[in-house]
Amino acid sequence: MLVALPMLWAVGYAAIYSVGGIGYFSQGWTFEHWKSAIAGYGVMQSLALSLGIAAIVTTIVTCVSLGVVICFPEWRQRASFYCLAGMMLATPVSVTAFMVVIFLGSGGLFARLLFYMRLIESPSDFPELIYDRYSIGIVIAQSISFLPLMLFYLSQLWQTIHADRLLFLSQTLGCSLRQAKWRVVLPTMLLRSRSVILLVFLFSLGSYEVPLLLGRQSPQMFSVLVQRYANRFDLLLKPQAFVLATVYFAISMGLLITYLRWRHRHEV
């Protein structure tokens, strides 16, 4: 009840508000807000940006963590590996975003080091990595935040699928170590971890603090734009916030069903 009722309220409220069912300035049921949201710049751009960033972050996190676990299987036995991943996992996303600012900002540490190396002459010569057009800062900060989660999961998965035995068996059947790793272990791990990959995608899609601190004013990611539209002085734009929220709910709920199905299939 503590979870179901507020969730029902949130989803229902967003959907009804977006079609004019409620709201101080509502003039009755209408699809006008949806039409103007689809025709407008902000909402569709935000949709594309959020999905794009989530897809890129998920790809980076998956590739890097699969690469680390498959190329360095001996790290799983080292305490320093777990300490490193644990430290990164314990770091709040807001702190990660702040660290990206002080390291990769135009006046940040790397820019200062390049200045001393005489590669740049002023902060403006440093390439724009935060508040930038391509959201590089957001992608870096989110990838760092989700990487330890994936590393922990894949390290456990290595044991669960008995990857060492798979490697040994493949080599016995004539594969080289490289073929065994990339043609046997990699597809097996990828298939088994697809539900967690989807989870990372969902977490990235709904992130707030990182795009708020490192993103541009326009376009903005889902959470930031919903919050901005909902708190604007122009109350006539408020239904647009709930159009966006309804789209976000629909995408997340659909992907969650897929996630639970995949999980269930592995359990069976």
Partner 1 sequence: MKFSSRCRSILLPFVFALVLAAYSYLIVLSLGSGWSFPSLLPDRFDYSPWKHFWADRDGLRIAALRSLGISLVVSAISTTFGLSAARSIRETRSRWGLYIAYLPFVMSPVVIGVCLFDLTIRLGIAGTVFGVIATQSMFATAFTTVFFSELWSPQVDRYEQLVTTLGGGRISVWCHAILPSIRGLVVVCVIETALFSWLDYGIVSIIGGGNVKSLTVHLFAYIREASVNQAAQSSLVLLFPAMVGMLLMIGLYVISVGQKSRTNSRLP
Q: Which of residues 180-199 bind partner 1 (CB under 8 A)?
A: 199
User: Per residue in 151-166, is it b (16+ CB within 10 Å) or e — as a string?
Assistant: bbbbbebbeebebeeb
Cβ burial of 129 (10 Å; 0-12, 13-18, 19+) is: buried
Query: Of residues 13-42, which lie at the interface with partner 1 (CB under 8 A)?
Result: 13-14
How many residues of this chain bind partner 1 (CB under 8 A)? 71
Reading the block at residue 53, the tokens are 């960033």
153 binds partner 1 (CB under 8 A): no
Query: Measured from the CB of residue 144, what is the shortest distance to partner 1 in angstroms?
Result: 10
- SS3 for 60? helix
Are 175 and 167 a contacting pair, CB within 8 Å? no
Query: Measured from the CB of residue 220, what is the shortest distance to partner 1 in angstroms?
Result: 12
From 29, 253, 254, 258, residue interacting with partner 1 (rule: CB under 8 A): 253
From 44, 52, 123, 188, residue interacting with partner 1 (rule: CB under 8 A): 123
Query: Measured from the CB of residue 253, what is the shortest distance to partner 1 in angstroms?
Result: 7
Select the span of 57-65, 128-136, 154-162, 246-254 touching partner 1 (CB under 8 A): 246-254
Distance of CA 242 to the CA centre of its chain: 22
User: Per residue in 32-68, is it b (16+ CB within 10 Å) or e — as a string?
Assistant: ebbeebeeeebbeebbebbbebbebbbebbbeebbeb
From 35, 112, 232, 266, residue interacting with partner 1 (rule: CB under 8 A): 112
Query: Measured from the CB of residue 173, what is the shortest distance to partner 1 in angstroms?
Result: 25
Distance CA 140, CA 118 (A): 26
Query: Of residues 57-86, which lie at the interface with partner 1 (CB under 8 A)?
Result: 72, 74-75, 78, 80-84, 86
260 binds partner 1 (CB under 8 A): yes
Are 104 and 137 a contacting pair, CB within 8 Å? yes
10 binds partner 1 (CB under 8 A): yes
String of contacts with partner 1 for each residue 198-237, x by CB under 8 A? -x--xx-xxxxx--xx--------xxx-xx--x-------
55 binds partner 1 (CB under 8 A): no
Are 66 and 186 a contacting pair, CB within 8 Å? yes
Reading the block at residue 141, the tokens are 């900060």
Residue type, position 44, single letter: M
Q: Among residues 14 and 139, whose Cβ is nearest to partner 1?
A: 14
111 binds partner 1 (CB under 8 A): yes
Query: Measured from the CB of residue 150, what is the shortest distance to partner 1 in angstroms?
Result: 15
Select the span of 5-13, 26-34, 156-164, 181-189 touching partner 1 (CB under 8 A): 5-13
Distance CA 62, CA 14 (A): 33
